[in-house]
Structure 1
Amino acid sequence: MVVVGGDAAGMSAASQARRLKGEDELEIVAFERGGFSSYSACGIPYWVGGQVDGADQLIARSPGEHRERGIDLRMRTEVTELDLPGQRVRARDLESGDERWWGFDRLVLATGATPVRPDLPGIGAPGVHGVQSLDDGRALLDTLEEVARRGGAPDGGPRAVVVGAGYIGVEMAEALIRRGFRVTVLNRAPQPMTTLDPDMGELVHEAMCGMGIETVNGAEVTAIRTGADGSVRAVATEDAEYPAEVVVLGLGVRPATGLARDAGLPLGEYGGLLTDLSMRVRGTENVWAGGDCVEVLDLVSGRTRHIPLGTHANKHGQVIGSNAAGGYATFPGVVGTAVSKVCDLEIARTGLLERQAAEEGLRFVSVTIESTSRAGYYPDARPMRVKMLAERRTGRLLGTQIVGREGAGKRVDIAAVALTARMTVEEMTALDLGYAPPFSPVWDPVLVAARKAVAAVRKAG
């Protein structure tokens, strides 16, 4: 069994296969081109911001630990070619430059995703960083420390520009503020967080401004300006120029499927590999794929989507490892659940946005309610806003978004379960959720939104 990629999906697959098959039954070789294995990329903003003390805290299992468990994990080794008819891969040792072919009976592709880097003047300049791997995080920290040593501009501290206001952009903006940088976020959309509807994204914008992050919406970046030494000095848009000693790209990621494309494997609308329920690549017998390089079935819309999250990647790996070792497991799909934060504002969504529901041709109602995290009379009850979408004809829940303070974000899990079970909003109102004043009002905010959605469905006929 050859595994291409040594992070969540790849090493979960290798570990699960090893649990089911001993070394005398199945040889497992894994290749990772980076310097770390089995780590939490989601934790990088918190490492950069200082809440996590060092990269070691983000590593679930080191290369040595994998080897002790009978997995031949080869670090700093890049797979450069797939020969599927010949059942072999070409791998290059990045330290020595040596190349050789490795045969396989079973192949697992877990090549992950790469940060979007638009083709702009100056995009490759020193000081411009994407953040996808621990190697990327270390490089960014080195730049931040160097900039801090130089002292920044005469009129204040060092300056950073974050391009993009999705999950990574927002989280990196907070991390840079924590490190003493003056931060500007350039966002081409009308509001931050296009994973929310604009009216909910407006709350995120307000929170970012409240913590001192200058957020410029509707800003299309046109170039990275550099100084005499070639390093970044500013980011230009169509209307203005924003000084910066460091630039962080938060424009999302694309599936890293160049190897798969060159080998003729099937890719979907978003460039990710297409698999069946067993995570086997469609049209193949002995090739599986998982993690950020695949597209997954959206259980709400019925279409495949690219949703790069570590939760999915680890589940993919478990399924792949079971099947590659001769067992049986399936990954049925996702409902698009995600949660994040900026300062103390929690941001969560699951299911479809209004735009996505309209694109699917669904007729729907949407409602928004204001509530609190605890009983209103209990100390430290914090406000939250819940938005809910339901199908007009059936009342089926289509999506939920939540923005609020402490205690808001994880409430989205209630809606995620309801979506997976294809519940109607009326059925949701009868859910037997836990209640006590320190944890919730008598009617949990999600159920208040469901009640309002029931009324909207009835009114719509």
Structure 2
Amino acid sequence: MAAERLVVIGGDAAGMSAASQARRLKGPDALEIVAFERGHFTSYSACGIPYWVSGDVEARDDLIARTPEEHRERDIDLRMRTEVTELDVPGRRVKALDRESGETYWTGYDKLVIATGARPVRPALPGMDAAGVHGVQTLDDGQALLDSLDGLGAKENRRAVVVGAGYIGVEMAEAMLTRGFEVTVLNRGEQPMATLDPDMGRLVHEAMDGLGITTVNGAAVTKILTGPDGRVSEVATDAGTYPADVVVLGIGVEPETALAREAGLPVGPHGGLLTDLAMRVVGHEDIWAGGDCVEVQDLVAGRTRHIALGTHANKHGQVIGSNVGGGYGTFPGVVGTAVSKVCDLEIARTGLREKDARAVGLRYVTATVESTGRAGYYPGAKPMTVKMIAELRTGRLLGVQIVGRDGAAKRVDVAAVALTAGMTVEQMTALDLGYAPPFSPVWDPVLVAARKAVAAVRGAGG
């Protein structure tokens, strides 16, 4: 009996995790695996690119978990610099373009995995394609940015403009600051970090100002201006014009689903592919999808959302590979946990913001506390602000946001577990968390916020 053929579109986290897991469960005699990757690299950490650009990570290859050669040694036919340009679902085949030779050809499949990732948002504005304007989604993007910075040579008073103040924007602002640039962040929103409520985003803004990063809120970019050499020279907004030697786009990403859309596969309200719990594309028995190109279930809000994170992508790949390989796995959903930092400022969130709760019809109370990451008398104790959102009447935890230093970010994991378990804020107050003066006050900041949230629920008649 001939081996089944699994075709994988995309050679990063979700795609190659799926291929590797399927290979562990089925040998080459039972399952042939063909994977297509349009770029130069496989199985790498896109989340690490800002730290490579800053110099905290010394070499590009430090971000690569497994090379194409290592995948091939595991009997995966990995075809680099080869882009799938067409998907024929009725014919069970894909059309591929070899970017080096220009050759195109069709490859049939018995099972298909779509892991095409996401693409940086790049507004269709004048000058957006000018030299010196960079997105940072792939290792190729990171290398192009570093090459561009090297091209500036020893120029004095180098200026970087970062467009967008989300996770990518603030991380790239830090990277540019570390490299000695004068940094301006242009943000369309009310405050940086729109994944936080504005009152918590204001704390990020104040901290960025203290670090020497100029943040301009309410500034929508209108065009990129260039010099005589065609390279970016200024960024124009409806709030003014800002000089720039390099521009980094940190506006966010969108699911890369054009191929799937053209093939008639189902996409959700955020543009990502829709899958069932097994990560199988809805309505298609032998097609799976995972990573940044899919929408996932929000366990708190009860609806789908698009979250581009390597943690989810790797989990998706494991689930897909298990199911393709004859095993069993599911991905139930997420609670929306994310962490980031700007220099020594740590930023974390999980669950719903206030506007998210309103959008799905939930009534709520909030509680915000200021504490420290260690016992106040212990050397090095730093301030930390925790905001907690709880459902009115039931007291069910809906979300937590943390901004601070000294271990603030990873405290959000306690809240993520509580959200997943459906705990109330009152139940949280009894959690047996670790305590010693170097690590926490007697009452951990998360528990202090929970206590205050309990009082808010009761005060509101809950």
Report the alpha carbon displacement of residue 239 of structure 1 after superposing the two structures with TM: 2.7
Specify which of 31, 39, 48 is matched with residue 34 of structure 1: 39
Specify which of 85, 90, 105 is matched with residue 100 of structure 1: 105
Specify which of 116, 123, 126 is matched with residue 118 of structure 1: 123
Partner of 1:383: 383
Mapped to 1, the partners of 2:152 and 2:58 lie a distance apart of 20
Q: What does the per-residue CA deviation read over 1:200-220, in whole Å, with 9 as the maximum and x for residues that have no partner?
A: 111111111111111101101
Mapped to 1, the partners of 2:36 and 2:129 lie a distance apart of 27
8 A contact 1:296–1:307 mirrored in 2: yes
Aligned: 1:356 with 2:356: yes
Mapped to 2, the partners of 1:398 and 1:369 lie a distance apart of 16
Report the alpha carbon displacement of residue 148 of structure 1 after superposing the two structures with TM: 3.2
Specify which of 36, 44, 47 is matched with residue 49 of structure 2: 44
Structure 2 SS opposite 1:91: strand
Report the alpha carbon displacement of residue 254 of structure 1 after superposing the two structures with TM: 0.3
Partner of 2:324: 324
Pairing 1:434-453 to 2, within 5 Å after superposition: 434-453=434-453
- Displacement over 2 Å in runs of 4+: none
Q: What does the per-residue CA deviation read over 1:195-253, in whole Å, with 9 as the maximum and x for residues that have no partner?
A: 00111111111111111111101101100001122211100011311011111110000
Specify which of 79, 87, 105 is matched with residue 82 of structure 1: 87
Specify which of 126, 133, 148 is matched with residue 153 of structure 2: 148
Letter in 2 for 1:59: I
Letter in 2 for 1:14: A
Mapped to 1, the partners of 2:198 and 2:239 lie a distance apart of 23
Mapped to 1, the partners of 2:374 and 2:159 lie a distance apart of 39
8 A contact 1:148–1:158 mirrored in 2: no
Letter in 1 for 2:196: L
Letter in 2 for 1:420: T
Mapped to 1, the partners of 2:75 and 2:299 lie a distance apart of 37
Mapped to 2, the partners of 1:438 and 1:242 lie a distance apart of 44
Mapped to 2, the partners of 1:76 and 1:96 lie a distance apart of 10
8 A contact 1:130–1:136 mirrored in 2: yes
Report the alpha carbon displacement of residue 326 of structure 1 after superposing the two structures with TM: 1.5
Aligned: 1:305 with 2:305: yes
Partner of 2:3: none
Q: What does the per-residue CA deviation read over 1:168-217, in whole Å, with 9 as the maximum and x for residues that have no partner?
A: 00000110011111111100111100000111111111111111111101
Mapped to 1, the partners of 2:80 and 2:320 lie a distance apart of 21
Structure 1 SS opposite 2:58: coil
Partner of 2:426: 426
Q: What does the per-residue CA deviation read over 1:304-362, in whole Å, with 9 as the maximum and x for residues that have no partner?
A: 00010000000000000000111111000000000000010000000000111111111
User: Can you give the 5+ residue segments of structure 2 that lack an aligned partner in the other structure?
Assistant: 1-5
8 A contact 1:365–1:391 mirrored in 2: yes
Pairing 1:380-419 to 2, within 5 Å after superposition: 380-419=380-419
Partner of 1:201: 201
Partner of 1:136: 141
Mapped to 2, the partners of 1:148 and 1:239 lie a distance apart of 30
Partner of 2:10: 5
Letter in 2 for 1:20: L
Partner of 2:238: 238
Report the alpha carbon displacement of residue 5 of structure 1 after superposing the two structures with TM: 0.2
Aligned: 1:270 with 2:270: yes
Percentage of pairs with the same residue: 76
Mapped to 1, the partners of 2:94 and 2:172 lie a distance apart of 36
Pairing 1:205-220 to 2, within 5 Å after superposition: 205-220=205-220
Aligned: 1:63 with 2:68: yes
Structure 1 SS opposite 2:388: strand
> What is the number of residues matched between the two proteins?
456
8 A contact 1:371–1:445 mirrored in 2: yes
Pairing 1:256-295 to 2, within 5 Å after superposition: 256-295=256-295
TM-score by length of 1: 0.98
Q: What does the per-residue CA deviation read over 1:70-107, in whole Å, with 9 as the maximum and x for residues that have no partner?
A: 11111100000000111100011100011110010000
Mapped to 2, the partners of 1:433 and 1:212 lie a distance apart of 36
Report the alpha carbon displacement of residue 147 of structure 1 after superposing the two structures with TM: 1.3
Mapped to 2, the partners of 1:444 and 1:213 lie a distance apart of 31
Mapped to 2, the partners of 1:239 and 1:351 lie a distance apart of 33
Mapped to 1, the partners of 2:430 and 2:320 lie a distance apart of 37
Mapped to 2, the partners of 1:265 and 1:280 lie a distance apart of 11
Mapped to 2, the partners of 1:182 and 1:371 lie a distance apart of 32
Mapped to 1, the partners of 2:239 and 2:378 lie a distance apart of 48
User: Can you give the 5+ residue segments of structure 1 that lack an aligned partner in the other structure?
Assistant: none
Letter in 2 for 1:252: G
Letter in 2 for 1:394: T
TM-score by length of 2: 0.98
Mapped to 2, the partners of 1:147 and 1:190 lie a distance apart of 33
Report the alpha carbon displacement of residue 377 of structure 1 after superposing the two structures with TM: 1.2
